[in-house]
């Protein structure tokens, strides 16, 4: 029934588009890049930046599409980080027959349910940010992402902790979300195999501010480090209350904490916290320089976090569509975009992006940063194939930036570290 409805709707839309064509000869067929990101809700800031990066990519391609006789448009839908709204937005986006691909979702909890819809519609959906392992396990050709998944983040963080802190006792806390808990579980399991001693595994409630009871209990077990899987608000309150209780352990957490908000909430207590973030720092990648500069020029604000990811995703999708229409190979543009995007080798802001057979990026690296006086200082980048050096974290020797010095000023790498 829904399919039928959709079919009729699209038929009407197509005929409307046709009418538009005949009435004004100047307008050419429209191709739309779909964007579904949280432009409102708790992650609005991240969503807005990613949507703006996608807008920038579209603006850069518009002329080339016009030369081919197409009008490239962008359709930004808000999922508000809410799974229900995400599915509704996925229907809205895929129901538009001119959509050829989607920059899809910031939250794993949104992309998971929505991905079935993209699969049904045969619409290529690439996420700039989701990291839950499950997303690419369904075997949908239409689903991919440019961020390495939590399994890799958890694994690399466990390796990093083992290399720098030794076989320490770790208390693991998570925020019971698909993201936070999934990450914490991988960290716990991988860490155990590497010889870390996991002394506890506790969940907290998102939105709660009082973690003192939990931390008091953890303190009595005297861990060497605390790992937290979750987002910045809870991380900020956790680390602040840890320090208030006089706990001096290392605090290690994830990319959901990476941003200025962590410092706003945690204040002085954030000092020394270690945060992982996907990819190589952008200022160490020649390819990202022009993006960062033009983004700041265009929107007169610096890139904070997921902008480059959304920019690459948009470019992969647009490039695939562009080559498809240029070669006029197929009438089914969506299928053609899926085929081309999955086999693409894209040289973008993140470096060279390629997808494996599941749709996960082969460019799987995580960088580690340490909070220091209100900004994240770059420590080291770890890839899947390499193991972290056990040298002092201050002397990172990642292969990507071997030539770059590690002066503190250099580490403004942390895009979020604007004071």
Partner 1 sequence: MAQVRGPAKLAEALLAALLISLLLALSGALLLMQQQQPQAFAQHLVNGLTLGALFALIALGYTMVYGIIELINFAHGEVFMLGSFLGLLALQALFGWGITSVFVAPVLALLVAMCGCAALGVALDAVAYKPLRRKPNWASVLAACGAILGLTIWLLPGRGKLDLGLLDGAEPYVFATRLGGFVILLLMAWTAFQLDAKNPSAPRTTPRVNALLSAIGMSIFLQNLVMLAVGRDTQTFIQITDFSGLPVNPETGLSRSSFPLFGIEVQYIEVVTLVAALLLMVALDILVSKTALGRAMRAIAQDPEAARMLGIPVARIITATFMLGSALAAAAGILYGLRYGGVKFNDGFIIGLKAFIAAVLGGIGNIRGAMLGGFLLGLSETVVVATMEFGWQQLGNWRHGDKVTELWPHAEFHDYKDAIAFLVLVAVLTLRPAGLLGAPEVEKV
Contact residues toward partner 1 (CB under 8 A) are: 41-42, 44-45, 176, 200-205, 207-210, 212-214, 216-217, 219-220, 233, 236-237, 240, 244-246, 261, 264-265, 267-268
CB 101 within 8 A of CB 320: yes
Q: Residue 176 Cβ, how far from partner 1 at the closest point, in Å? A: 8
Q: Which is nearer to partner 1, 21 or 44 (CB)?
A: 44
The CB-based long-range contact list for 56-64 (8 Å cut-off, 24+ gap) reads 56/294, 56/295, 56/298, 56/299, 56/311, 57/33, 57/311, 57/314, 57/315, 57/318, 58/33, 58/314, 58/318, 61/315, 61/318, 61/322, 64/322
Q: Residue 92 Cβ, how far from partner 1 at the closest point, in Å? A: 23
Q: Residue 43 Cβ, how far from partner 1 at the closest point, in Å? A: 9
Q: Residue 81 Cβ, how far from partner 1 at the closest point, in Å? A: 11
Q: Residue 337 Cβ, how far from partner 1 at the closest point, in Å? A: 34
Report which secondary-structure segment, H or E, holds 291: helix 286-299
Report which secondary-structure segment, H or E, holds 202: strand 197-203
Q: Which is nearer to partner 1, 64 or 212 (CB)?
A: 212
Q: What are phi and psi of 285, to 5 degrees?
A: -110, 115
Q: Which is nearer to partner 1, 110 or 313 (CB)?
A: 110
Dist CA 347 CA 343 (whole Å): 13
Q: Which is nearer to partner 1, 134 or 202 (CB)?
A: 202
Q: Which is nearer to partner 1, 261 or 336 (CB)?
A: 261
Q: Which is nearer to partner 1, 147 or 260 (CB)?
A: 260
The shares of helix, strand and coil residues in the chain, as percent rounded to the nearest 5, are 50, 20, 30
Q: Residue 243 Cβ, how far from partner 1 at the closest point, in Å? A: 10
Which whole-number Å values give the CA distances from 248 to 192, 216, 219, 227, 241, in the listed order?
23, 13, 10, 13, 11
């Amino acid at each position: 029934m829904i399919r039928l409805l959709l079919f009729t709707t699209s038929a009407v839309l197509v005929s409307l588009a046709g009418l538009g064509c005949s009435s004004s000869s100047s307008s050419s067929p429209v191709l739309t890049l779909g964007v579904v990101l949280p432009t409102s809700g708790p992650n609005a800031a991240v969503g807005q930046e990613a949507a703006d990066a996608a807008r920038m990519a579209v603006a850069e391609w518009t002329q080339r599409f016009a030369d081919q006789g197409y009008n490239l448009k962008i359709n930004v839908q808000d999922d508000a980080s809410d799974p229900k709204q995400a599915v509704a937005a996925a229907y809205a986006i895929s129901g538009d027959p001119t959509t050829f691909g989607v920059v899809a979702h910031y939250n794993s909890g949104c992309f998971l349910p929505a991905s079935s819809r993209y699969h049904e519609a045969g619409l290529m959906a690439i996420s700039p940010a989701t990291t839950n392992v499950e997303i690419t396990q369904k075997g949908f050709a239409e689903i991919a992402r440019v961020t390495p998944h939590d399994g890799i983040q958890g694994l690399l963080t466990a390796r990093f902790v083992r290399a720098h802190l030794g076989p320490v006792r770790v208390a693991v806390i998570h925020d019971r979300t698909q993201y936070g808990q999934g990450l914490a579980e991988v960290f716990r399991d991988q860490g155990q195999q590497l010889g870390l001693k996991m002394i506890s595994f506790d969940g907290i409630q998102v939105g709660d501010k009082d973690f003192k009871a939990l931390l008091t209990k953890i303190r009595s077990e005297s861990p060497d480090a605390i790992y937290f899987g979750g987002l910045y608000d809870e991380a900020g309150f956790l680390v602040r209350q840890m320090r208030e209780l006089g706990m001096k352990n290392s605090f290690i957490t994830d990319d959901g904490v990476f941003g200025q908000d962590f410092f706003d909430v945690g204040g002085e207590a954030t000092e020394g916290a270690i945060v992982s973030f996907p990819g190589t720092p952008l200022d160490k990648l020649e390819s990202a320089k022009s993006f960062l500069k033009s983004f700041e020029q265009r929107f007169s604000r610096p890139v904070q976090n997921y902008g480059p990811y959304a920019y690459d995703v948009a470019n992969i999708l647009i490039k695939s569509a562009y080559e498809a229409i240029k070669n006029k190979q197929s009438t089914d543009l969506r299928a053609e975009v899926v085929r081309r995007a999955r086999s693409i080798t894209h040289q973008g802001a993140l470096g060279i992006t390629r997808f494996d057979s599941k749709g996960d990026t082969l460019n799987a690296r995580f960088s580690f940063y340490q909070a220091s006086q209100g900004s994240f200082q770059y420590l080291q980048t770890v890839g899947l194939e390499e193991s972290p050096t056990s040298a002092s974290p201050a002397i990172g020797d990642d292969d990507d930036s071997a030539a770059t010095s590690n002066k503190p000023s250099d580490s403004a790498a942390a895009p979020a570290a604007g004071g």
